[in-house]
Every structure is written in structure tokens, then in C-alpha cells.
Amino acid sequence: MHDISVLDPREDLPEALRELLDACPRAVWASRPPDHASTRFWLDRHRMFRMLLARMEDGARDLASAGAPPEAGIRAVRRDAAILLNEVHGHQKVEELHYFPRLVTFEPGLGAAFAMLDADHQALDLHLKELAAAVAELIRVGPADLERRIGWLQLRLARFGSCLDRHLTDEEDIVLPILLRHGVALEA
């Protein structure tokens, strides 16, 4: 069984994995990311995950404060959750099967970094399951239990969101410097 809290205590990329990032910090690569369509697509996926999560958080907040019937808000949260869950899962599989094995060949000393990212994926999968369960409960809930289920969803979104952001930030801080240093593109 994987530990769902693997990402929780980590506030930054571990010091032992920062050498390449220190040589090519975020401020440098954020202003000039690699000009490869596959890399832009990968970064766009990360932006999409963050956007969908923010939209779900907004939707849950609206549900908690609205006096109007919640059906439309619940449908919107369910739609965004379905997209987020599916896309994050698929994205992780492409990374695990294609991107990470290829990238570690360029920087073999970063094997621990990719092992950490793989462990993150396992922890995120558990968060995704809990988030899916919270959305399913919100869909099934009756009016008397709506407030409690919205609160549970908000808690799941907050936990998943902080872990997802930590992972995406670390992943970008590991992958982009490799791509820039070696002039390669992400390819599936």
C-alpha cells in the first residue's frame, strides 16, 4: 500500500535533487521554455490540471454559499472532476512509461528524482480515488446532507490540490532543466 502523505511534508524539491535546477532555475526556463510542441503540450497539461482544480474549488465554494438549487453546480463539479481524474491518470501513465525512462538516460544521476516523481504518482492516485469518492457522494447526497458533503469535497480538493501543485512544480523543476541542457523534446 502506498502512503497518501508522501507529498504532504515536502515543501520543496529535496536538496540532493536541486543541482540541475540550480544550474537552470525556474526564472530562466519560465521565460524561455523549450520550443518543442511536445514540451509545450506537456506544460499545457499541467496548466489545465491547475485550472480544472481551481474551477472545482470555485464550484464547491459556490455550492457552499448558494441559496439556489445546487443541481447545476453539482453537474459542473462532476464534469470537471471527470476530466481532471481521467487526464491526470493518463498523463501520469505517459510520463511513467515514456518520458521518465527517456529523460533519465540524459541525466542518470537524477534516477532518485524520477523515483520520487513515480512515488508521487502513487500518492496522487490515492488522492484521486478519494476525490472521486467525494464527488460521487456529492452526486448521491440528499438536501439534508448537502452541506456536509460539500465540506468533505472541499477538504479533498484542498489536500489533492496542495499535493498536485507540489508534484507538478517539482516535476517541472526536474524535467525542464534536462530538456534545456540537452536540447531534447518530450516525445511519447
pLDDT digits (tens, 9 = 90+) for 87-116: 999 999 999 999 999 999 988 888 888 999
pLDDT digits (tens, 9 = 90+) for 122-148: 999 999 999 999 999 998 877 778 889
The pLDDT assigned to 38 comes to: 80
Short-list 168, 126, 127, 157, CA closest to 42: 168
Contact predicate 160/53, CB 8 Å: yes
Selected from 1.20.1540.10, 1.10.599.10, 1.20.120.520, 3.30.559.30, the CATH number assigned to the domain covering 36-182 reads 1.20.120.520
Show the CA angle centred on residue 115, arms to residues 109 and 162, nearest 5°.
120
pTM: 0.86
pLDDT digits (tens, 9 = 90+) for 175-185: 888 888 887 77
Nine cell digits for residue 139: 452526486
Q: Spell out the residues 6+ positions from residue 20 whose beta carbon is closer than 8 angstroms to its own.
A: 107, 110, 174, 177, 178, 181
Q: What is the pLDDT of residue 156?
A: 95
